[in-house]
Amino acid sequence: MTVARTAYAIFGFLHKGICVFTRTLKAKLLMAGAALAAVGALMPLSASAATATQTATAAAASPATVAVGSGWFGMETPGGYCLDGNSAGSVYLNPCQVPGNKYQDWNWTKWQAYSPYSGYYYFYSIHSQATGRCLDSNAAGDVYTNPCQAPGNAYQDWYWGPGNTSGYSKFTDVATSLSLWGVPGNPVLTNNNQPQYNNWGLSQ
């Protein structure tokens, strides 16, 4: 009995010691983890990480681009010629046949977008009723139609504002800042050098 009691007492002493050691170790590990977390929270982000975070935050906060209006028109130069096009993507001027000639009838969609610098703004996409292709251009000033990628392809996005002559409109490519230019007998271009030819009358 004495040996058994002695062994039991030794076991109890060892068990108690192990428990105390385990609790102490856990407390130290928790304290070390908290200290590391605090250091990580205080350390500044690298420039690339900060930029990525700001970009992701801005993208999440920025409202999506949405369509807010639509309609159609014919686009007529002061000389009585209308914007025309074909299924191959060519754009040119022909004597006006609006309404009735679907190649001269153009659908427009008004888009609302948001910039963190200037707030909400608006632009338009314009596509042929006959072909479904969108009015497009490039930095060289060429004008044509392509399968629609608007909104998203800034070369197919247009600002629509007042023309240089009262009663007319002007269409400026968002990507190039060049305005639609039309002179009968010449290719349709985007060009800011002759503002009198940036005027377009709208008819239905």
The answer, yes or no, to whether residue 13 has pLDDT greater than 70, is no
CA-wise closest residue to 196 among 182, 186, 184, 178: 182
pLDDT on residue 63: 72
Q: Are residues 89 and 151 in the same domain?
A: yes
Q: Name the domain boundary from 17, 32, 61.
A: 61
Same domain flag for 38 and 73 = no
Which domain, by its residues, includes 17?
2-61
Model confidence at 62, pLDDT cuts 50, 70, 90, reads low
Shared-domain flag, residues 12 and 112: no
SS3 helix, strand, coil % of the chain, rounded to 5?
A: 30, 35, 35
Higher pLDDT, 155 or 5: 155
How confident is the model over 168-190, as a mean pLDDT?
97
With a cut of 70, say whether residue 57 has pLDDT above it. Answer: no
Are 101 and 33 contained in the same domain? no
Assess whether pLDDT exceeds 60 at residue 20.
no
First and final CA of the chain: distance in angstroms?
114
Distance separating alpha carbons of residues 147 and 143, to the nearest angstrom: 14
Residues 81, 57 share a domain: no
Q: Provide the pLDDT for residue 40.
A: 39
Backbone angles phi, psi at 181, to 5 degrees: -130, 130
> Number of folded domains in the chain?
2
Q: Is the pLDDT of residue 154 over 90?
A: yes
Overall average pLDDT of the 168-186 stretch: 97
Residues 111-137: what's their mean pLDDT?
95
Same domain, residue pair 99 and 171: yes
The domain that contains 167 carries what CATH number? 2.80.10.50
